Structure 1
Amino acid sequence: MSSLATRGERRVSPVFLALVAIMAVSIWAVWTNFSASPGFAVFLFVVSGWVVSLCLHEFAHARTALHGGDFTVRDKGYLTLNPLRYTHPLLSLGLPVIFVIMGGIGLPGGAVFIERHRIRSRWKQSLMSAAGPLTDAVFAAALGVPFLLGALDGLPDNVCYALAFMVQLHVTAVILNFLPVPGLDGFGVVEPWLSPRIRQQIAPFAPFGLLAVFGFLWIPEVNHVFFDMINSVLDTLGISQWDTYHGYELFRFWEGTPDIPPRSDFTDGLYTIVSR
């Protein structure tokens, strides 16, 4: 394979760069209050940022697989960060965005086909599966640590709300992705250590694992426990329910511009947010 072809297989896709540009312009519009509809700008920021994170998630899988021995990821274009290279672009990108709109939950998305038999050890197979959600965790930490350090004090309220909602999505994605459910990365971490017989028995259920998780989250008791867990993690990062609640309110711009009191009202203890 020529060096020119190798560079082409690893060149960052213009599609990914366009998504990053949309994310940057939309958060600038939120920051400067440039848009007549701040909610629409928040929507663009969250959706574009979410798809960017999906691309990084899948890139982490592919890059780790490459180092493990699956060189086919280069030919498939997975190293270009192009979401259109995924096995099912509509299901990989469309469904996660729909889940975000419906309930503010960052369900896993994206799908790169890794030829696991080419990866040379069970440890490397497990690491390949873990690489995606670990990337989500880094993304969440990068956006969440500034809350913890108080570095966002003085920024426009809507910027804080948008960032807080983005962190919530990634925290939910990390927790859900690490569940040892067939079809999710958490199962991919433990799968290499299972016997061939057990893996063969579980394989038919893999396509339904994500749907089963989504169905369980619709059960009120499960949903309540799940969001209590999420809120505990966010509290550790210094992100309040006030921030994530109003981030979600702004995100749903089609319901009209919400009347949101200043963020300082929450920090002064004047308001209480009831969990969804």
Structure 2
Amino acid sequence: MGLIRLLINDPAAFFMLAVLLLYSVILHELAHGWVAFKMGDETARWLGRLTLNPIRHLDPIGSLMLLIVGFGWAKPVPVNLENIPQPQRRKGLILVSAAGVTANILIAFLALLLWRLLAPEPGGLLYQVLYLLSYINILLAAFNLIPIPPLDGSKILMGFTPESFNRVLIQIEPFGFFIVLGLLLLGALNPVISAFQYAIITFISLFLPG
């Protein structure tokens, strides 16, 4: 039952996985706020969210889901695109939305690069940490690329689509969580997530040595 069983059977492995999951999600959200800040929106900084302090980012429901099913989320870092000058606003939407996914892909790349360079002993602690770090971040990136609100993929898409289509996505967003959850339970999103995972792994492989 998610991480609860792991906590009972192997507390050390639970702690390691929980920390990796937690900070992978936090860095995903932090990336959104940092890019928005660089583009002129200081909302995240004003609210004290440009920090690695996990307490500032923990979401009660997301943390509970992490324990129950092994997959959760942090509180979204607040972003106000109205603070980005109008000529840059659509570009800002794309860059801010893509920042979280980019952070996860970068973390996965660094983990796999270290795995390739250090060649850790199979089954050892370093082997497990690097494997889990790459796996978790590739999965997070793939999941967030799904173009259903409120996931990042929908916001990236909105940066390229006309306002009439974007209004439809905005209307869907209040129900998006339940739509995504329902599709996940039905297994309908598995092929989409797998396709994104394959694309991400292929992309990362282009930059790994020999």
Q: TM-score range, shorter-chain basis?
A: 0.7 to 0.9
TM-aligned CA deviation for residue 93 of structure 1: 3.7
Distance in 2 of aligned mates of 1:151 and 1:69: 40
Unmatched tracts of structure 1, length 5 or more: 1-36, 239-276
CA deviations on 1:90-123 (whole Å, 9 max, x unpaired) are 134443x24xx52x5x565431111111122111
Q: 1:208 aligns with which of 161, 175, 191?
A: 175
When the two chains are superposed, the root-mean-square deviation of aligned CA atoms in Å is 3.2
Distance in 2 of aligned mates of 1:185 and 1:93: 20
Change (3 A) 1:94 1:204: farther
Aligned match of 2:11: 40
Aligned match of 2:162: 195
Find out whether 1:59 has 2:27 as its counterpart. Answer: no
Letter in 2 for 1:91: I
Letter in 2 for 1:160: Y
TM-aligned CA deviation for residue 226 of structure 1: 4.3
CA deviations on 1:109-150 (whole Å, 9 max, x unpaired) are 431111111122111221011111110111111112233x26
Distance in 1 of aligned mates of 2:73 and 2:147: 13
Within 5 Å, which residues of 2 pair with 1:6-21? Answer: none
How many percent identity over aligned positions? 24
Find out whether 1:175 has 2:145 as its counterpart. Answer: no
Distance in 2 of aligned mates of 1:111 and 1:206: 14
Distance in 2 of aligned mates of 1:192 and 1:232: 21
Change (3 A) 1:116 1:83: farther
Distance in 1 of aligned mates of 2:199 and 2:166: 34
Within 5 Å, which residues of 2 pair with 1:115-130? Answer: 115-120=80-85, 121=88, 122-130=90-98
Q: 2:151 aligns with which of 170, 181, 184?
A: 184
Find out whether 1:136 has 2:104 as its counterpart. Answer: yes
Find out whether 1:72 has 2:43 as its counterpart. Answer: yes
Letter in 2 for 1:223: N
Task: Give the number of the structure whose alpha-carbon radius of gyration is greater.
Answer: 1
Letter in 2 for 1:110: K
Distance in 2 of aligned mates of 1:209 and 1:83: 25
Distance in 2 of aligned mates of 1:197 and 1:231: 32
TM-aligned CA deviation for residue 84 of structure 1: 3.4
Contact 1:108–1:173 (CA under 8 A) maintained in structure 2? no
CA deviations on 1:40-86 (whole Å, 9 max, x unpaired) are 21110111121112221111111110111112221111112334334
The number of residue pairs the alignment matches comes to 195
Unmatched tracts of structure 2, length 5 or more: 1-7, 206-210
Aligned match of 1:24: none
Q: TM-score, normalised by structure 2?
A: 0.75
Q: TM-score, normalised by structure 1?
A: 0.59
